[in-house]
Amino acid sequence: MGITPDLDGTSGTYEANCHCGNVKFQVNISPALENYPVSICSICTHNGYALIYPYKKDIKFIQGKEALKDYRFGDKNLTHKFCPNCGTPVLFEFQTFYTELIGINVRTFKDIDMTTLKYKNVDGKSLSPKYEV
């Protein structure tokens, strides 16, 4: 089972991987995913990111972290990381602010139903015009 939310739903531990399985990790988040606002960012439509922002300390790589390739654009504050084998956008790291957090693509989580999640739209282009490619 890929999802193990605790009994009161306030946190959960999730197993995740890219499509080919080269990259595998586990992440603890609070609240549990069914209560977590998942961000769909307007700038991320190309990559299909559905993002949550757990603490870096709460992600544990099982394999493949070193295999991830970087992609940066705009002001280069974000380092997007994707699997070079299957192309799955896995996560991104902040370079200059929110550096204790990490953006995780919940589409990598095992056994989740994307239709049951709570979404909020983020207008990334308005937040930072520098993000234009």
Contact residues: Zn ion, CB under 5 A:
18, 20, 22, 83, 85-86
Residue 120 CB, shortest distance to Zn ion, in Å, is: 27
Rounded to the nearest whole angstrom, what is the least distance from the CB of residue 96 to Zn ion in the complex? Answer: 28
User: Cα(43)–Cα(121) distance, rounded to whole angstroms?
Assistant: 11
Question: Residue 38: CB partners within 8 Å, gap ≥ 6?
Answer: 50, 51, 52, 106, 117, 118, 119, 120
Helix, strand, coil percent values for the chain (each to nearest 5):
20, 40, 40
Identity of the residue, 43 or 68, whose beta carbon is nearer to Zn ion in the bound complex? 68
- Per the CB < 8 A criterion, the answer to whether 91 and 103 are in contact is yes
If the CB atoms of residues 85 and 128 are measured against Zn ion, the closer one turns out to be 85
| Minimum gap (Å) between residue 21 Cβ and Zn ion | 7
CB of 58 to Zn ion, least distance (A): 22
Residue corresponding to tokens 């504050």: 77
Is the CB of 66 or the CB of 132 nearer to Zn ion?
Answer: 66
Q: Name the CA radius of gyration of the chain, rounded.
A: 14
Closer CB to Zn ion, 74 or 84, in the complex: 84
